[in-house]
């Protein structure tokens, strides 16, 4: 035997039938908070602010890379000099 049951109701009607809570007010508050936080952090997306934030770190990385490169060439020269003897 095969039985098909079709129920035509809205999500609100199904939620109330099963006794589930209405989370829409909480979701609206959370979305409003997220929107407010995103708007307040848009200032950090200013290209000049990003450049100021990244520049010191990138310059420090370049200096470290130059030091590593210099040490590499010094070690290579020292190895070449020790093999000539």
User: Domain map of the chain by residue range?
Assistant: 10-45, 47-85
Report the distance separating Cα 7 and Cα 32, nearest Å: 34
Q: Residues with Cβ < 8 Å from 12, sequence gap 6 or more?
A: 22
Q: What percent of the chain has pLDDT over 90?
A: 34
For 42-66, write each residue's pLDDT tens digit.
Answer: 766 777 766 666 666 656 667 777 8
Total-model pTM: 0.41
């Amino acid at each position: 035997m095969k039985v098909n049951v079709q129920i035509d109701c809205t999500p609100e009607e199904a939620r109330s039938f099963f006794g589930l809570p209405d989370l829409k007010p909480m979701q609206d508050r959370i979305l409003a908070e997220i929107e407010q936080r995103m708007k307040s952090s848009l200032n950090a997306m200013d290209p000049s602010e990003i450049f100021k934030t990244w520049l010191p770190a990138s310059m420090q990385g370049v200096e470290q890379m130059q030091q590593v490169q210099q040490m590499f060439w010094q070690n290579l020269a020292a190895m070449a000099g020790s093999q000539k003897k």
